[in-house]
Structure 1
Amino acid sequence: MAGQRIATRAGACAAVAVLAVAGGTVARADDGFEALPAEQIADRSRDALLDVSSVHLRARGDLGKGRSPMTVDLTLDRNGNCAGGVDLGKDKGSVKIVKRGDSVWLKPDADFWENQVPVGGSAFEAILAGRYMRGSASDSRLRPVVEACDLDTFRELVSDNAGSDAGTYSKGKVTTVDGVRTVPVTRTLNEQKLTAYVDTGGTHYPVRITVRGDGADAAVDFSGFDEPVPTATPPADETVDVSAVLGRGPSQS
């Protein structure tokens, strides 16, 4: 069903960011931050990210294993609100996403309907006529989007990956990323290298995380820490109920 495909692909894109976050759990030290061992810098960076109430993330690239490069651009918070979009890359389509409270809006473009829903996609596109689909957060067809929009889901996945001390850590020279002074720390595991560029001042957020090797080539930029998610939602005359597009089937969880 088209709604499930939209939701699943959006959730998969957001997972690029989740899978990119890792770090061991080690004791803190009182030394100057830049002088800390790589493991401790990674630990502080992860903890800072887990503490935020909202964040803007932009994930782009692919994690290998035959996955196509794609981009996620989302601002999300711990109340389950989010705004942004997903671009599947190479003219495969994109979807704008807004979630506020119990309402979810999705706006696939023409390329999405043509490439992701080859059977029936043109009919769905005609019904929408450039408008958003609107549904409830409790609609099972939209569950992956709802989960991807919730910062608590993101935090849980980061925490689940935080206990592993596998691989080796190294620290690079201080460098500037988007005007922020950062220290890069790299975790190498098998043939893959994950590098976090950590803000050296104030709260030690990861400004960028990259994943390279073993077929992967992805990056995640973080910004807008603790800044509110935009509150604007599509007006009623620019929306169509999801059931009018996908039909009335089992939709409640």
Structure 2
Amino acid sequence: MASHRKLRAAAVVCAAVAVAGPASAAAWAAPPAAAGAAVQQAAPRAPSPSPDPFADLTPDEIADRAITATQSATSLRMTGRVVADGEPLDIDFAVNERDECTGQMKIGGGTAELRRVDDFTYMKGDEAFWRVSMASQGMPEAQIDATIELVKGRWLKIAPGQAGASDLSGVCDLEGLLASLDEDRAEPGALARGPDGEVDGTPVATLVKKDTGKETTATAEGTAEPESAEPETTEPETTTVSVSQEGKPYILKMDKTGGEEPGAMTLSEFDEPVDVTVPPADETVDLSKLDQGTNA
């Protein structure tokens, strides 16, 4: 059986991966105002409903309705790619209002499955996922090999209070993810309505929030360059959010291009059941028991 140090290292890896994933997902679960800024990705043209359900609304009013509708969802699915600390992160999760979820994330060529049910979190990664995750934490090769041998082909069962439990549960916190929609709203008039489009066959209105590039003359040491130095310019960013024009005005897609965190996230399967299966006991490594020195 692995030592307490190795078991704790496995839990730390879970936490590190979770911090990169849920935080980014939460940032994407926001309208242009909450996301801060990004670059518009052209939406596909599609016939607009007649009459236009948002014809008499300002972009800010459309955003308010979209936020209210999306926050009312009892479940949804998030699919897409975000950037976490410069590393592309692909996620696909179904989440419900009971903080249950099931799905997977991909980073650095590796894949991990995540499930949460009955307040327990289960995580199962392939070797590539664990290796890139642990290497990013600066773990020595020998420790990485030992930990991978421990978790190979098995689910880590993380109990409430275990290291990494709160971070990993964040991706399954539907209320928390949607709460970010109310944060950092843009000033009135900062949003613009873009061309109508289509997301998976559903006609949508688009809302656009643009930002200009930022200039800096600071050096790596934090001191100012001489006035003659050429400023470093960050590419302008725009965020485009697609709002359903049929049924409830759910937010169906967020697109970012430009800047440091480009990506796209699609929301779907609103209010549909989320079925989460508890992994078989003989395929799990129970960290809460192992930390106490007992068998898994």
Work out which of the residue numbers 13, 18, 23 in structure 2 matches 1:10.
18
Contact 1:23 1:43 in 2 (8 A): no
Whether 2:71 is the aligned partner of 1:50: answer yes
Contact 2:79 2:266 in 1 (8 A): yes
Instruction: Find the counterpart in structure 2 of residue 28 from structure 1.
Output: none
How many residue pairs match? The answer is: 238
Deviations 1:61-116 (A, max 9, x none): 327xx511111111112211111111114x2x222100001211110210122222
> In structure 2, the residue corresponding to 1:209 is in which secondary structure?
strand
**Identity %, equivalent residues:** 25
CA distance in 2, matches of 1:166, 1:145: 35
Regions of 4+ moved over 4 Å: none
Deviation of the 1:140 alpha carbon: 3.5
TM-score, normalised to structure 1's length? Answer: 0.84
Q: Return the structure number with greater relative CO, CA threshold 8 A, min gap 6.
A: 2
Whether 2:132 is the aligned partner of 1:132: answer no
Deviations 1:16-42 (A, max 9, x none): 2321313569xxxxx952323222222
> In structure 2, the residue corresponding to 1:195 is in which secondary structure?
strand
Instruction: Find the counterpart in structure 2 of residue 79 from structure 1.
Output: 98
TM-score, normalised to structure 2's length? Answer: 0.73
What pairs up with 1:109-124 in 2 under 5 angstroms? 109-118=126-135, 119=140, 120-124=143-147
The 1:94/1:244 distance shift into structure 2, 3 A limit, reads farther
Q: What's the Cα RMSD here?
A: 2.4
CA distance in 2, matches of 1:121, 1:156: 37
Q: Specify every segment of 5 or more residues in structure 2 that has no aligned partner in the other structure, as ranges.
A: 1-8, 35-50, 213-235
> In structure 2, the residue corresponding to 1:4 is in which secondary structure?
helix
CA distance in 2, matches of 1:86, 1:58: 10
CA distance in 1, matches of 2:202, 2:52: 18
> In structure 1, the residue corresponding to 2:65 is in which secondary structure?
helix
Deviations 1:174-223 (A, max 9, x none): 21111111111111133321111111011011111012222331111000
Deviation of the 1:150 alpha carbon: 1.1
CA distance in 1, matches of 2:189, 2:82: 23
Whether 2:160 is the aligned partner of 1:160: answer no
Contact 2:131 2:148 in 1 (8 A): no
Deviation of the 1:248 alpha carbon: 4.4
Deviations 1:141-179 (A, max 9, x none): 321001221112212222233x44277222122211111
What pairs up with 1:181-200 in 2 under 5 angstroms? 181-190=203-212, 191-200=236-245
CA distance in 2, matches of 1:141, 1:14: 12
* Aligned amino acid, residue 18 of structure 2: A
Q: Specify every segment of 5 or more residues in structure 1 that has no aligned partner in the other structure, as ranges.
A: 26-30
Contact 2:17 2:133 in 1 (8 A): no
Instruction: Find the counterpart in structure 1 of residue 59 from structure 2.
Output: 38
